[in-house]
A and B are shown apart, each in its own frame.
Chain A
Amino acid sequence: MSTLIVTDHHVAPAPTKAKVVQPAWVRTMHWINAVAMILMIMSGWQIYNASPLFGFSFSRSITLGGWLGGALLWHFAAMWLLMINGLAYLITGFATGRFRRKLFPITPGGVLTDLKAALTFKLAHDDLTTYNYVQRLLYAGIIAVGVVIVLSGLSIWKPVQLQYLTALFGGYDVARYVHFVCMSLICLFLIVHVALALLVPKSLRAMIIGR
């Protein structure tokens, strides 16, 4: 009996540790970001409807806030959640070396090979701790889009106080389009991301319980 416990004690931690795919901080920040993103996108659509950039509006059934004033309140509340969580994620990602380990290198050859394998359903998902090249490209790309959507948002919000940032985007009017394009890219990413997570359920499980 006691031998068994001792054995367990010595052997168990090593494989358990190796099996952790997503550490707690990644999981926590991932889901906070998911909530923040959805709030930002849905309230953003309602704000867009007040003065559409293109010849369409978003159905009110998928927007948040009820009217422009309500949507702005949600948008400028959820922005704190998005920004603080996002900043903490970037800092931790760089400081722990996770970005370097998991997302790099990204080579064109690797991306092409993995993309071909993915499209023919031959891509292996045995080892969730290593991201394939398509994943690396998408995850690094979406982090960059996340940074740009926050910066373009800030330049729309504060075109006088942060006028140098606004000028960097080509002015107030252009920044609105940049903000919209980033939103569209995030929505496209979301569709692919959720579809793939459902196709490989153990990756979803890893993002919930860690392994």
Chain B
Amino acid sequence: MLRKRRFLVPGVDKRLLVKDAVKVMPDLTRRRFITAGASLGALTLLTGCDVLDSDSADAMLARVSKFNDAVQSWMFNPNAMAPTFPESAITKPFPFNGYYDVDDAPDIDGKDWKLEVRGLVENKNSWTLDELYKLPQVNQITRHICVEGWSAIGSWTGTPLRDFLKLIGADTRAKYVWFQCADKDGYNSPLDMESALHPQTQMTFKFGNEILPRAYGFPMKIRVPTKLGFKNPKYVVSMEVTNDYKGGYWEDQGYNSFSGS
């Protein structure tokens, strides 16, 4: 797993072209817009191939990615539902997916596991699996789209996250719900509040009609059909309602943070 970890390091580089382009533009949105267009062309034309590996290119790309977060947040329609499918369309077998082998997937004892709730919420009590199973559940058959390009249709059953957030008295004006997971190396991922409150965003306890198998994230996965797969954390151990951007396992390595579908 040779992955670059140097993308999206804030304020790493202040090289001339990007900075100059930014300086002359008054409005923030427009500024980023121009940086996206002008610098790419200018940098490439002026410095040729060297630019492709330089830090200034990384800084410029990180800026554009942030701009793309804003564009996607603007495009996001809370009333647009991800298309749903009949049971016959379910992909079998549904692929296991992770940055490790299925044998290295977290092996969690459901009796010991508790969901920890933190941050801007009124009720910070932890939840046992039995308590969570008692909440009303709904089913969805939607398409899981991986950042790699492949997709698979699955059937997920669980509690809408927005109902749970209401139940625990979460401040839904906060910017993010940040999930931490039991995957090795500590997987985590931020979810913007608008997507967290989307009707199809779900705390998933079942795949098909069976208790979520270990391969798909037992005991709990967050299913977000309006996001790419890596924004659907598995083996969740805690959620934090927060205004701070706390980064994420893949987000920190350069995957676009919003990554909406």
Contact = CB atoms under 8 A, between A and B. Distances in A.
Interface of A: 32, 35-36, 39, 47-48, 50-51, 64, 66-70, 72-74, 76-78, 80-81, 84-85, 156, 158-161, 163, 172-173, 176
B143 A69 contact: no
Chain B interface category by residue count: 35 or more
B68 interface: yes
Contacts of A76: 64-65, 68, 256
A74 B40 CA distance: 9
Interface in B222-261: 225-226, 250, 253-256, 260-261
B40 A70 contact: no
Nearest to A157: B261
Contacts of A176: 149
Contact of B4 (A50, A51, A64, A69): A69
A69 B3 contact: yes
A95 B2 CA distance: 50
A32 B41 contact: yes
A51 B152 CA distance: 13
B159 to A, nearest CB: 21
Contacts of A172: 143, 145, 151
Nearest to B251: A69
A208 to B, nearest CB: 13
Interface stretch (B72-80, B104-112, B131-139, B210-218): B72-80
B83 A50 contact: no
Nearest to B49: A64
B261 A160 contact: yes
B199 to A, nearest CB: 13
A158 B253 CA distance: 22
B50 interface: no
B34 to A, nearest CB: 10
A163 B83 contact: yes
Contacts, number: 101
Given A159-B143, A159-B261, A160-B80, A81 B3 contact: no
Interface in B31-90: 33, 36-37, 40-41, 44-45, 52, 60-62, 64-65, 68, 75-77, 80-83
Interface of B: 2-4, 7, 33, 36-37, 40-41, 44-45, 52, 60-62, 64-65, 68, 75-77, 80-83, 143, 145-151, 225-226, 250, 253-256, 260-261
B64 A77 contact: yes
B149 A51 contact: yes
Contact of B83 (A32, A78, A160): A160
B77 A35 contact: no
A73 B261 contact: no
Nearest to B77: A161
Contacts of A84: 37
Contacts of B145: 159, 172
Contact of A67 (B4, B52, B76): B4
A151 B226 CA distance: 19
21 contacts: A35-B40, A36-B40, A67-B3, A68-B148, A69-B7, A69-B254, A69-B255, A72-B147, A73-B61, A76-B256, A77-B40, A80-B40, A81-B36, A160-B82, A160-B83, A161-B226, A161-B261, A163-B82, A172-B143, A173-B151, A176-B149
B4 A70 contact: yes
Contact of A81 (B37, B148, B150): B37
A50 B261 contact: no
